[in-house]
C-alpha cells in the first residue's frame, strides 16, 4: 500500500481546508518545500499535492514551487488543482510530475478526460470529490447533479491510471475516512483507488491496509500529520510492513 503525505498550497504556504471550505483554513509555518523535505527525510517517496490557488483561478499558480520540490528532492508527485487544458497537463509532465489529477475539467467535459488519457498514457489520475453523494467542481464551490459512481461508469474505459476518491464532508475533519463509499468506487473502477479525506489516526491507516485486495492502492494523509496525531516514522513503518 502506498501512503501519500499531502501538501496543499495557497499563497505559497501549506494550508489545510475544512471540508473544502476556503473560508475555513489552517495555515502552517512550514513552506511547501520544507514540508516536502520533512516527508522525504522520513522516507516517503510519493506526495499528494494540490495547488489551491490553481483550483480557484484555473491557472498553474504554484508551478515553480512544485518544480523546485521535484528537482531538489527527486520525489514522485501527483498534483491537482486548476488543470483545465492539455497545455497545463503538459507543463506539469515537462517538470517531472508523476501523475496529473483531473477533477473539475474532467467532470464537466468527459471528452477532455478521454483526450488527456490518450495523449499522456499512464500519467492521468481521476479526482472524484463528492459531498452527500454528488460530485463537486470549481474549487468545491459548485455541486453537480452527478454521483461519483454514475460518472465513473461512463468514463471507466478511458484509460486513467488512478482514481482518488474524497468525501469532502470528511476532508480535514479527522473523523475517519468514508471507507464504504470508497469501496463502492473501487468495485466499479478499472483503475486502483486512493482513499482520501478524514484520516484521524494510525488505526485508520491499518484498516485501509487490509483493503488492498479490493482495488485500494493507497491513502492520502494530511491534517493528522500536521497536527501531530500521526507520527511520520510510525507511518512509514506501516507503509513498509
Give catalytic residue positions.
Answer: 8, 129
Nearest alpha-carbon partner for 221 in 39, 61, 65, 72:
39
Cell of 13: 504556504
- Strand-pair partners of 50: 8, 80
Cα 117–Cα 120–Cα 122 angle in degrees, nearest 5? 75
- Strand-pair partners of 100: 79, 124
DSSP string, 63-131: HHHHHHHHHHH--EEEEESS--SHHHHHHHHHTT-SEEEE-HHHHH-HHHHHHHHHHSTT-EEEEEEEE
Q: Is 74 exposed, middle or buried (0-12, 13-18, 19+ CB in 10 A)?
A: exposed
Contact by Cβ (8 Å): 120, 89: yes
Non-local (6+) Cβ contacts of 74 within 8 A are: none
Amino acid at each position: 500500500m502506498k501512503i501519500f503525505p499531502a501538501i496543499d498550497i495557497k499563497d505559497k504556504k501549506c494550508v489545510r481546508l475544512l471540508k473544502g471550505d476556503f473560508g475555513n483554513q489552517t495555515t502552517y509555518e512550514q513552506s511547501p518545500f520544507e514540508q516536502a523535505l520533512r516527508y522525504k527525510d522520513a522516507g516517503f517517496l510519493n506526495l499528494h499535492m494540490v495547488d489551491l490557488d490553481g483550483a480557484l483561478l484555473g491557472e498553474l499558480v504554484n508551478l515553480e514551487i512544485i518544480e523546485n520540490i521535484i528537482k531538489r528532492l527527486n520525489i514522485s508527485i501527483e498534483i491537482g488543482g486548476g488543470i483545465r487544458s492539455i497545455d497545463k497537463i503538459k507543463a506539469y509532465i515537462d517538470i517531472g510530475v508523476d501523475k496529473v489529477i483531473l477533477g473539475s475539467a474532467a467532470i464537466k467535459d468527459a471528452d477532455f478526460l478521454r483526450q488527456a488519457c490518450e495523449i499522456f498514457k499512464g500519467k492521468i489520475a481521476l479526482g472524484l470529490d463528492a459531498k452527500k453523494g454528488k460530485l463537486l467542481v470549481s474549487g468545491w464551490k459548485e455541486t453537480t447533479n452527478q454521483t461519483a459512481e454514475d460518472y465513473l461508469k461512463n468514463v471507466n474505459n478511458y484509460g486513467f491510471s488512478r482514481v482518488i476518491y474524497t468525501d469532502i464532508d470528511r476532508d480535514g475533519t479527522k473523523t475517519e475516512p468514508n471507507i464504504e463509499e470508497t469501496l463502492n468506487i473501487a468495485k466499479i473502477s478499472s483503475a486502483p483507488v486512493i482513499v482520501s479525506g478524514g484520516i484521524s489516526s494510525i488505526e485508520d491507516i491499518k484498516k485501509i491496509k487490509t483493503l488492498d485486495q479490493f482495488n485500494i492502492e493507497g491513502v492520502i494523509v494530511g491534517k493528522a500529520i500536521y497536527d501531530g496525531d500521526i507520527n511520520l516514522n510510525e507511518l512509514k513503518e506501516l507503509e513498509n510492513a
